[in-house]
Structure 1
Amino acid sequence: MASDVDKPHIPVLLNPLLRECAPITGRWLDGTFGAGGYTKGLIAEGADHVTGVDRDPLAHQMAEAWINEPPYAGKIDLVLGTFSRLDEYASDLDGVVLDLGVSSMQLDQAERGFSFMKDGPLDMRMSQDGMSAADFINTADEAEIADVLFHYGEERQSRKIARAIVKDRVEKAPFTTTLQLAGLVERLLPRKKPGQSHPATRTFQAIRIAVNDEFGELIKGLEAAERALRPGGQLAVVSFHSLEDRVVKRFFQERASTGGGGSRYAPEQEVKTPGFEQLSKAIGPDEDELEANPRARSARLRVGRRTTAEALPVDRAAMRLPKPVLRRE
């Protein structure tokens, strides 16, 4: 029987992405390489070369089985790193693809600790180093846990959950497994109704975002993509929850405005040439994709085309990033 790692991993919104970015030519960068689905699609549609970036060592190990075989041999370079530094790995690109959030490859492995449906160590680290979810849950104070759950997961019961976490870790035992944490949330929140998400969905999302500094990485990645793209190059971003999509939407809105990289909060600022042309509004999955891949239900694709304007730092205030930023050692 095939293991979860061996199961095919379906890239979300691949066909709409290829359609919006057509014709696919030249040099691209896949900033969230994963199982290589977007990279394979780009090469099949005409990309000459793809730089694949992923901070998960497992993605690199899995790719060894196929990247040196036809039709991919000589067309893919892999970099172990984060997409927030993508302009250090390639430049003058025709396109950049970013698929945000956790991959199905990571969700399917219980030992990675991303899923509340399978028992495993409470980890959630994409890079497999640094502070784990268990480290955070067992050491952060109640207020910080509540803030993370509320701001990164939009969990309305954040204070109730945080209070119970702190109480349980002291009176019972430290949190070490995914089902231990998921079980606590299930005890506190009403049982889910048919069609609703699992009660622990928002809690796990929030902790994963905090542990991996996903919003910090996203802003830096958008800035890096702007620097790395040639004029006419395209940036395609696939997000999986509303918090991410809002940031990507605001980025393209700010960059498409005559304020360039400036902020709407500084009206006297010098007018600049827009850094991106927005190519489409948010695109979601169609019925066929939802039937083939239910995980695509919340996915949204946004695409922009780079102009000749100078790349500028992102105005963090204009992005209205969720707070707080996790306090780190």
Structure 2
Amino acid sequence: MGLRSCVQPAWIIRKCWTLSGIRWRHLFSAMQPWLPLRNITTCTSRDRLLPYLESISGKHFLQTRSHHGNGSTSDLWNSPEHFSDGGPIQAVETFEEGARHSPVMVTQVLELLNPKNGKLFIDMTFGSGGHTKAILSENPDTQVICLDRDPLAYCYAQELAKSYREGQVLACLGKFSEVPQILYQLGIIPGSVDGILFDVGASSMQYDQRGRGFSVSQDDPLDMRMDQGRDPDGVTAMDVVNFLSVQELREIIKKYGEDRMAKDIAYAVVDARHVAGKITTTQQLAEIIESVFKGKLLRDKLNRKSHVATRTFQALRIFVNNELNEINNGLEVSYNYLRPGGVCAGISFHSLEDRIFKRHFHGIDMDEAKNMSSKQKSRMLRDHHQKYDKELIESILRRRWIPASRKVITPDVMEVQENPRSRSAKLRAAIKSADV
């Protein structure tokens, strides 16, 4: 067995163990990050990993205060040519093709961010650059830091930067959890950013690009890594479906895909790989999932036929890229780097992502149960024997964020007709409070 094939299943097992038991409750409501896992270079069986699995405990919270000391020597935004063969290198040739993808709710985003001369913005999910271009078109004198974990998007950002003066568009490669190191190296200090935008989930560019494995409708290798292999310890969707147990697959599909058929899908996947061998392509996986639904049709919000494997693909993508923890990290970083009065806007495409934005912006504790009333919260404090002293009352009343709108913002009918992929989009925004 080769080294890579051995390391990846071990990584998945460690990851699943950290998501087992009571931590699934925290993941569903809070999506808090856990302790980083140790690298394992050799393995022979699952039993050998048990000492490592049992030693993992506690949570790891991202350090969001100002970074001190020497800058990181990592290649967070260096040339990504070594990340994968043939992918990002072709970005210059396909830049115009990527530019054709339509950004979601551009008018509403510009209204919230209100770009003006000299303001500094961070586009945390650059993609093909639609929102960044809109910000620069609204006011050519703004400065935008363009971040993305996808090396192809990073190359797009580099191409866009050539059209503007030096230092106006800064292309950066990295995840949300790497932002403090990136901003430190750029000389950006906490409390100096005017606006931050998130457009989370897989982009249209990633769905449409062949060989990535995001789309149910294409027959591609089961990959789904947004960073295209930049993380040497990363795993692919192929690793997940071929090396995890029924119970572990069921938990992933149920929690991340919110699919009622999660158990049946997990059994079908495990049975199929035992009978027919390794599952390697998106078409193979889609056909296995179709067999569970036995010809049943699903409909999307536009009443169009929806593939029954869509939720499972979503779950695998979220798990492989650790997306929910990254969003939570990104919002903590955003609060630290925004100036008082700065705006943070987040576009999401399903309830798990939207719930994280909602809880951050409305001051709902990440570990709190869903839909708790004020009376229930009061009873919970009483049950924990907490006294209603002045300090506790002030901490409850103190707000980190002031929501920019009472209700979630959604695309209008015309935009949904022109861009059907926007049908599930939700936009939330909040202003950093000056009182905290």
**TM class by smaller structure:** 0.7 to 0.9
Q: CA deviation at 1:270?
A: 5.4
Specify whether residues 309 and 215 from structure 1 end up closer, same or farther in structure 2 by C-alpha distance, changes over 3 A only: farther
Choose from 151, 161, 179 the match for 2:283: 179
Specify whether residues 12 and 198 from structure 1 end up closer, same or farther in structure 2 by C-alpha distance, changes over 3 A only: same
The 5-angstrom pairing of residues 242-321 of structure 1 reads: 242-254=351-363, 266=381, 268=386, 269=392, 271-272=394-395, 273-280=398-405, 281-310=407-436
Specify whether residues 87 and 3 from structure 1 end up closer, same or farther in structure 2 by C-alpha distance, changes over 3 A only: closer
Aligned AA for 2:394?
A: V
Say if 2:160 and 2:169, in contact at 8 Å, map to a contact too. Answer: no
Match of 2:325, SS state, is helix
Q: What's the TM-score, normalizing by structure 2?
A: 0.65
Deviations 1:212-245 (A, max 9, x none): 1111101111101001100010000000011211
Which runs of 5 or more structure 2 residues have no equivalent in the other structure?
Answer: 1-92, 366-373, 387-391
Choose from 215, 218, 224 the match for 2:333: 224
Q: Which residue does the alignment assign to 2:176?
A: 83
Q: CA deviation at 1:64?
A: 3.3
Tell me the distance in 2 between the aligned counterparts of 1:52 and 1:187.
Answer: 42
Tell me the distance in 1 between the aligned counterparts of 2:264 and 2:408.
Answer: 34
Q: If you compute each CA radius of gyration, which structure gives the higher value, 1 or 2? A: 2
Tell me the distance in 2 between the aligned counterparts of 1:67 and 1:108.
Answer: 24
Q: Which residue does the alignment assign to 2:272?
A: 168
Which runs of 5 or more structure 1 residues have no equivalent in the other structure?
Answer: 257-262, 311-329
Match of 2:161, SS state, is coil
Q: Which residue does the alignment assign to 2:111?
A: 19
Q: CA deviation at 1:198?
A: 1.3
Q: Which residue does the alignment assign to 1:316?
A: none
Say if 2:198 and 2:346, in contact at 8 Å, map to a contact too. Answer: yes
Kindly indicate whether residue 161 of structure 2 is the aligned counterpart of residue 67 of structure 1. yes
Tell me the distance in 1 between the aligned counterparts of 2:319 and 2:327.
Answer: 12
Say if 2:112 and 2:343, in contact at 8 Å, map to a contact too. Answer: no
Kindly indicate whether residue 136 of structure 2 is the aligned counterpart of residue 28 of structure 1. no
Tell me the distance in 2 between the aligned counterparts of 1:135 and 1:28.
Answer: 37
Q: Which residue does the alignment assign to 2:51?
A: none
Tell me the distance in 2 between the aligned counterparts of 1:309 and 1:196.
Answer: 49
Say if 2:224 and 2:317, in contact at 8 Å, map to a contact too. Answer: yes
Tell me the distance in 2 between the aligned counterparts of 1:148 and 1:24.
Answer: 43
Sequence identity (%): 40
Match of 1:254, SS state, is coil
Aligned AA for 2:297?
A: R
Deviations 1:23-52 (A, max 9, x none): 545000010011111111112222621111
Specify whether residues 212 and 266 from structure 1 end up closer, same or farther in structure 2 by C-alpha distance, changes over 3 A only: farther
Tell me the distance in 1 between the aligned counterparts of 2:351 and 2:240.
Answer: 24
Q: CA deviation at 1:271?
A: 2.3
Q: CA deviation at 1:83?
A: 1.9
Q: Which residue does the alignment assign to 1:325?
A: none
Specify whether residues 224 and 294 from structure 1 end up closer, same or farther in structure 2 by C-alpha distance, changes over 3 A only: same
Match of 2:434, SS state, is coil
Specify whether residues 18 and 270 from structure 1 end up closer, same or farther in structure 2 by C-alpha distance, changes over 3 A only: same
Say if 2:147 and 2:154, in contact at 8 Å, map to a contact too. Answer: no
Tell me the distance in 2 between the aligned counterparts of 1:131 and 1:73.
Answer: 37
Deviations 1:44-97 (A, max 9, x none): 222621111111111122333332114x65411111111233344244100000
Q: CA deviation at 1:175?
A: 1.0
Q: What's the TM-score, normalizing by structure 1?
A: 0.86
Q: CA deviation at 1:195?
A: 1.7
